[in-house]
Amino acid sequence: MKGKIVVLKFGGSSVADNEKLKIVANKVIGYKKEYKNVVVILSAQGKTTDRLIGEAMELSKNPDKRETAMLISTGEQVSIAKLAILLDEMNVPAISLTGWQAGIRSSIANKCAIIENIDVSRIEQELKDDKIVIVAGFQGVNAKNDISTLGRGGSDTTAVAVAAALDADKCYIFSDVDGVYTADPNKIKEAKKLQNISYKEMIEISNEGAKVLHDRSIKIGEKFDVPIVTKSTFSEKEGTCLSKNIEENTVKSVVKKDVTKISIIGEGIMRNTKLIEKIINIIESEEVEVLRIEILDSKISVIFKEIVTDSIWQKFHEVSI
């Protein structure tokens, strides 16, 4: 492809209503000034997917998987068509494409299908015609030509896979959070936003339950080295960049999963004996009972015998970051 390519993905809360769609449209137009080629991936509006699943469950306790994929994939089709209508109204050439129109071929599963390959010829053709291409997230088409869905949160995966297939310069994931933090900022007030994080660290954070990105999207990002940036739709603040970039011995995040597990994540953390010592000191001075400590290359997890308070989390955060 000639010229720079950017992929912009907007989550459900970013496209929840017409006002928000207008914000998204203006953002997209802004990026078009900077990049010759702009591809947009959208989620369904607001809680549409939940609502559609609920409606299927009202009809059947165990709704047929093929038909459920057929039903819930409509959510994304609504948002892409609306954004295309809006951009057209603003005199900006754009076209919306469903998963199959965009060439997204998936495994046979209806529910948690895997993207197997992307035939980008249609996307590239539309980009050559100078259109903004808006692709439905979360869906593909399988070998039977049935619509498949990629698992909840799967639009992130569509975005990163499309970015990899187009060899895009950047893949922005816009949502209502402005990046990845050193801990949950709602619980730990000292938590800071990270400028950079590696794919590996992000996978560990995600394994510990902090769902900033769909797991599979991070793995595709790592495999194809896609520069991913997570950013807020509603502020100009800098986001967090994901890349291979390995910074040994720097702790990136302290995550509390459920009530008995705290994990400290950072590439090569296993070799940070000083930190391990500090953590043991906290455990001893706080007199909390520990069931076990798991030490992996990029993660140390402490599993407590009892429910641990957020103040211990805060202390772990303090000594780590």
Minimum Å distance from CB 102 to Mg ion?
19
Residues across the chain: 321
Q: Beta strands 104-106 and 115-118: pairing type?
A: antiparallel
Residue 75 interacting partner from Mg ion, ligand ASP, none (CB closer than 5 to 8 Å by kind): ligand ASP
Of 213, 209, 185, 210, the C-alpha closest to 199 is: 213
DSSP letters along 28-61, please? HHHHHHH-SEEEEEE--STTHHHHHHHHHHHH-S
Single out the residue of 137, 179, 239, 266 in contact with ligand ASP (rule: CB under 6 A). 137
Q: How far are the Cα atoms of 48, 94, 174, 202, 259 from residue 102, in angstroms, in the given order?
A: 22, 14, 21, 28, 43
What residues from 151 to 190 belong to the interface with Mg ion (CB under 5 A)?
Answer: 153
What residues from 4 to 23 belong to the interface with Mg ion (CB under 5 A)?
Answer: 11
Report the residue number whose CB is nearest to Mg ion. Answer: 153
154 lies in the binding site for ligand ASP (CB under 6 A): yes
Number of other residues whose CB lies within 10 A of the CB of residue 223: 11
Minimum Å distance from CB 234 to ligand ASP?
17
Contacting range for ligand ASP; rule: CB under 6 A; set: 81-89, 148-156, 243-251, 286-294: 148-156
Cβ nearer to ligand ASP, comparing 84 with 308: 84
Single out the residue of 153, 179, 221, 239 in contact with ligand ASP (rule: CB under 6 A). 153
Sheet strands side by side (includes 139-141): 115-118, 104-106, 139-141, 147-149
Minimum Å distance from CB 75 to ligand ASP?
5
Minimum Å distance from CB 306 to Mg ion?
33
User: Who contacts 54 (Cβ-Cβ below 8 Å, separation ≥6)?
Assistant: none
Residue 12 interacting partner from Mg ion, ligand ASP, none (CB closer than 5 to 8 Å by kind): ligand ASP
Angle between helices 74-89 and 48-59 (to 10 degrees): 140
Cβ nearer to Mg ion, comparing 153 with 179: 153
46 lies in the binding site for ligand ASP (CB under 6 A): no
φ, ψ at 26 (rounded to 5°): -65, -35
140 lies in the binding site for Mg ion (CB under 5 A): no
**Burial track 53-68 (b if 16+ CB lie within 10 A, e otherwise):** eeebeeeeeebeeeeb
Sheet strands side by side (includes 94-97): 94-97, 132-136, 37-42, 5-10, 170-175, 228-232, 240-243, 196-198
Q: 285: part of which helix (H) or strand (E)?
A: helix 273-286
266 lies in the binding site for Mg ion (CB under 5 A): no
98 lies in the binding site for ligand ASP (CB under 6 A): no
Single out the residue of 51, 152, 193, 219 in contact with ligand ASP (rule: CB under 6 A). 152
Minimum Å distance from CB 26 to ligand ASP?
21
Contacting range for ligand ASP; rule: CB under 6 A; set: 43-51, 177-185, 252-260, 279-287: 43-51
Residues forming the site for Mg ion (CB under 5 A): 11, 153
Where along the sequence are the contacts to ligand ASP (CB under 6 A)? 12, 43-44, 49, 75, 137-138, 152-155
